[in-house]
Amino acid sequence: MVVLSRPALDEISFVNNPKQTLLSAIPVVDLSHPDAKSLLLHACEEYGFFKVINHGVPEGVMKGLEDEAAKFFSLPRSEKEKAGPADPFGYGNKTIGPNGDVGWVEYLLLKTDVKSIYHSALDVSSGNPEKFRSAVTDYVSGVRDLACEVLELLAEGLKLQHRSLFSKLLKDEENDSIFRLNHYPPCPDFQSLEMIGFGEHTDPQIVSVLRSNDSTGLQISLKDGSWVSVPPDQNSFFILVGDSLQVLTNGRFRSVRHRVIANSFKSRLSMIYFGAPALQEKIAPLPSLTGAGALSKYKEFTWSEYKTSAYKSRLADNRLVLFEKK
């Protein structure tokens, strides 16, 4: 039997500025509102983050997956570990990525294509794997459509030649999008220091769509470097601009740095879809966004190159600096 060493509690870092403000001004975009486009543009430029309401994903689809995920995470550790260790896909506990990052979190990381969902770690769910699989399939299909709708409104707002310029990357049959279920168990409270659930980072993909239960923990970093807590809302989705969209827009949109602080009372369950292009897809600033002098801030790279580089980095690293033009 292989015994895997686990990070001890004291290896997980704490945040020593426990007083956080709730950002009452988190941008909220009503997708059915005529001004949605301009609000989305502003939110992507200013925050790289916003909440969407009137998103069209049925409540039953959101709740259906939450219930299945909660059942999975309540299985005995030995059962869950049959779906691990995460390589990067599968079940992971406290260890994040391959380079020594740890957090107060357990998770399932999955590919999103139908074949992979069929063969995936969901098989270990002792209850009803078919139900879990169909809940993931329905959920991923709903949030992919939502991500595409948002990306199409953004492309229109940016006056790009085709409104599908971004969304077609996620619709490509070969897209490399992934899906993550994170469970943050209640954590022991150490002298009111807050423990890191998932350390600060930006997402490498184009766009991420996050939904959580009614438990706090998510924080985003503003342009001035301050951290603000995002009030949870289980009926809405939070959209995060990823590194690849920052590059495609030549830095006009901001890839948002975020983290999760573990809650000492209530467990947090989040579900995140990371929309990514096909591996061979080229990522470079769109010519129409590089300005009259055609000043591109980034070197061209393929998604595969960026992903390889990301997996060599630590969670908190600024992964885009390697691709900036000097």
Binding footprint of ligand GA4 on the chain (CB under 6 A): 88, 96-97, 99, 101, 109, 178, 180, 201, 203-204, 274, 310-311, 313-315
Rg (CA), the chain: 19
Nearer to ligand GA4, 50 or 273 (CB): 273
From the candidates 252, 268, 314, 319, which is the catalytic residue? 268
Q: Which helix (H) or strand (E) holds 201?
A: strand 194-201
Nearer to ligand GA4, 99 or 226 (CB): 99
Task: Write phi, then psi, for 27 (nearest 5 degrees).
Answer: -60, 130
- The amino acid that residue 3 corresponds to is V
Packing angle of the helix pair 59-73, 129-157 (nearest 10 deg) = 130
Q: How far is the CB of 214 from ligand GA4 (least distance, A)?
A: 22
* C-alpha distances in Å from residue 45, one per residue of 114, 123, 249: 34, 41, 10
Contact call for residues 101 and 314 (beta carbons, < 8 A):
yes
Q: How far is the CB of 308 from ligand GA4 (least distance, A)?
A: 11
Which SS3 state, helix, strand or coil, does residue 299 take? coil
Q: Is 252 a catalytic residue?
A: no
Nearest in space to 270 (alpha carbons), one of 51, 114, 98, 108: 108
Q: How far is the CB of 314 from ligand GA4 (least distance, A)?
A: 6
Nearer to ligand GA4, 80 or 201 (CB): 201
Q: How far is the CB of 92 from ligand GA4 (least distance, A)?
A: 8
Nearer to ligand GA4, 66 or 101 (CB): 101
Which residues are designated catalytic?
268
